[in-house]
Amino acid sequence: MTTTEQLPAEFDDALVHRLYYGHFFCHIFHQDYIVRKGADVHALKEKMLSILNARGTQYPAEHNVGHIYHASPAMRAFYQQFDPTNNLNPGIGKTTKARNWGDEKQTAPASQEQPLSAKD
């Protein structure tokens, strides 16, 4: 089965150009957009994220969450397991910068991940 990722037609007026590309065999797809001058970028991002969240998409996928996005509970548990003193990258995934994870210490990942919003 071959599918092409496409945004709904409601985005057509706000976008000048769309770039879709991915990595062979690793299930990571990039979607880059050139937004038309004057378009409400934050509202556009919120609409895009709501579509991705409804599909259960996990993102960002390739380069991890960095300091821009909230890490999922599973990723928080992973960071804490492999960096118990929180020295390697404090604050990653909007986690605490406190030494030894402060009050954020988790023992197991939670089952529900929180969707992102345009504010993340």
pTM value is 0.55
* Structure confidence by residue, pLDDT tens digits, 3-55: 566 788 999 999 999 888 887 776 777 888 999 999 999 999 999 989 988 98
Q: Is 73 left (phi over 0), alpha (psi -120 to 50) or beta?
A: alpha
Per-domain boundaries in the chain:
9-54, 64-110
Nearest to 39 by CA among 63, 66, 16, 72: 16
Question: In terms of CATH, what superfamily is 9-54?
Answer: D-lactate dehydrogenase, cap domain, subdomain 2 (3.30.1370.20)
What integer pLDDT is reported at residue 111 of this predicted model?
45
Distance CA 93, CA 83 (A): 14
